[in-house]
Chains A and B, each alone.
Chain A
Amino acid sequence: MKLLTHNLLTSHVRGVGPRGFPLRLQATEVRINPVEFNPDFVARMIPKVEWAALREAANTLQLGEVPTEPVEGYERDEAFLRKMHHVLLEVDVLEGTLQCPESGRLFPISRGIPNMLLNDDETES
């Protein structure tokens, strides 16, 4: 599971609503996959990303310092873009858990795939 995916995932436990985001990440096995750097892709993706959640996940995985906000003029800052490229696309969580911040429910990540299925009594409808 890449961090860009983590940024889109939220807990859907009944009653939790928007408070189910972001999921707390815990990783026991991580792999780094080099991905071709495309500065345009990263620059355009940054406004779409929930920054605080990304920063928190990067900190959890000890990926180094991520600024509290995208730096001014980040579109042309190659070092910054390369860093964010690495954080978003190159770090793959193979084993670990995602935790709903509201209900505490744990979702396992196994072989890079998070299992977000809920039991019947946990679902909304």
Chain B
Amino acid sequence: MATAPAPLSLSASTLPARLRAGAVPAGARWRQARRGRMVVRAKIREIFMPALSSTMTEGKIVSWSAGEGDRVSKGDAVVVVESDKADMDVETFHDGIVAAVLVQAGESAPVGAPIALLAESEEEVPLALSKAQELSNGQPQQAPPAPTEDAAAAPPPPPAPAAAPAPVAAGTKGIASPQAKKLAKQHRVDLAKVTGTGPYGRITSADVEAAAGIQPKSKPAPAAAAPSVGAVPQAAVLPPVPGATVVPFTTMQAAVSKNMVESLAVPTFRVGYPIVTDKLDELYEKVKPKGVTMTVLLAKAAAMALAQHPVVNASCRDGKSFTYNSNINIAVAVAIDGGLITPVLQDADKLDIYLLSQNWKDLVKKARAKQLQPNEYSSGTFTLSNLGMFAVDQFDAILPPGQGAIMAVGASKPTVVADKDGFFSVKSKMLVNVTADHRIVYGADLAAFLQTFAKILEDPESLTL
């Protein structure tokens, strides 16, 4: 029922006629700019997007029944338009030659916008083509730009063959992707003049958009209304490497990326400290059977040290003040499949290592199953990152936003050390490196904290209390 094609009244008029009629609803100002040029040649008529219903504001061209170069007579259906209600054949009121199609099938235009040019005779076709050139220049359907901008910013490209070739037969040397061809047609970009930067030197849609002077981010045409995932990485600053695979971030990876970029706003500094771990290793061997891990021991030690140096457990939220945290919550970085998460050992200074171990086990299990609650990964006041198990000797961590310091722990390895009496011995030594926010934590603070931390680990009995 609704699809029954109802021939509709016409929407072509001569330019002078339109002048007399006064302003046209859409884009009047912009057309006025051209009026002066066009008044002389009255024999080229514009075909407008008709208003097919009272609520219609824009219409989509379903198909052109007449192609460029076709001679049409009054009453012929030239185009099928899809409104918000139905598809309708639109016929012309004038005889003439369809000189240029301005809005291709599949594209939309606001009611009243020119969608094609009708030339009265063969002689006027080239004129109509040059006019089409002007009209299309910087005009992807909607939002006509100010005339000055139009003239200055985008010098008209060399007269491209306005008769758009059939979808397939783009006779260019360079290979262009399907979307690149569509965009080229839409923006009247001559593919032969575009240098391809895609895989195998292929012309991509980004290349065409660049050639058309379009910011790749703004998706102009409703024709591109089915955007692809590819569009996201394409919008990035760097050109794609030929042959590379682009894999968009998962939500977790996107969160990491965001946090890392944000961290650049914080002025940080780093202090390293060597710690002898023989006693710690002994203790670890003792408590290991009870389910206590090295991570928990380090977290506990850090928490105990933080209790004595509250400034390292503080954070700077507004750039103007210290925020002292009432709890000591140690976030521990954990690599999980395709990402990174920081489960938090809450009140690590207050709980004993056995309870902490139990909590840690639960947290890791939840993290693997991606079931951590926000307060279980975002409530940290200090972060611990341990790469010791990979035999990393030392590394540098990036301070996560909202915290005052992060500790990077390397592997413990046998090292020759001399004691104060000059005796040499081989001790296990590990290097820890703390990154801190220098707005609140100063060098001496951090050094003192590390000294306390080292003392706890070098005489670790207190850990088990």
Q: Does B associate with A?
A: no
Residues of A in contact with B (beta carbons under 8 Å apart): none
Chain B residues packing against A (C-beta within 8 Å): none
